[in-house]
Amino acid sequence: MAQVLLLLSGPNLNLLGDREPDVYGTDTLDDHVVAATARAARYGLEVEHVQSNAEADLVDAVHGARGRAAAIVVNAGALTHYGWSLHDALAAYDGPIVELHLSNPDRREPWRHTSVVSPVATGLISGFGGHGYRLAVDAVAELLGITVA
């Protein structure tokens, strides 16, 4: 049975491909999920993806991952900067957490420079565009001690 990798996508990420393509690229969220799923399969990991514009849905997904998912990759979107209930849910999760951003928040507006996710994340991948999804899966595999199947 494959280990589960929970991939969380926060508010407005459902608009990828159309929203600010100069910042986020032209690939859709589905494109990124497909890339992450293909990469995860190389490691025998099964991706479960949850996208929501509601913080409560993402908190519920993290709660549901406890004791069940091997790791979490989270692109929290704007919740990165103010989603304290998401922070608390992630803090209660006992596996590796990789924070992911398509752009580099530190090169953007000052309000994006603070992450409430980072203090509870194992690591951070940002600024690599869509390639970041594959890097995040690679990081999870490394953290879990999994080699290519």
Give the global pTM. Answer: 0.92
Provide mean pLDDT across the span 15-29.
75
Check if 133 is active-site.
Answer: no
Q: What is the CATH number of the domain that holds 36?
A: 3.40.50.9100
> Three-state SS across 80-134?
HHCCHHHHHHHHCCCCCEEEEECCCHHHCCHHHHCCCCHHHCCEEEECCCCHHHH
pLDDT given at position 19? 72
The answer to whether residue 149 sits within a structural domain is no
The answer to whether residue 113 sits within a structural domain is yes
The answer to whether residue 57 sits within a structural domain is yes
Check if 24 is active-site.
Answer: yes
The answer to whether residue 95 sits within a structural domain is yes
The answer to whether residue 60 sits within a structural domain is yes
Reported as a pLDDT band with limits 50, 70 and 90, residue 114 is: confident
**Burial of 10: CB neighbours in 10 Å, binned 0-12, 13-18, 19+:** buried
pLDDT given at position 42? 96
> For tokens 């025998």, what's the residue?
44
The catalytic position among 24, 43, 93, 133 is 24
Work out how many domains the chain is built from and give that number: 1
The catalytic position among 49, 93, 101, 133 is 101
Measured distance between the N- and C-terminal CA atoms of the chain, rounded to whole angstroms: 13
The answer to whether residue 59 sits within a structural domain is yes
- Domain ranges, residue 20: 3-144
User: What CA–CA distance (Å, rounded) separates 101 from 121?
Assistant: 13
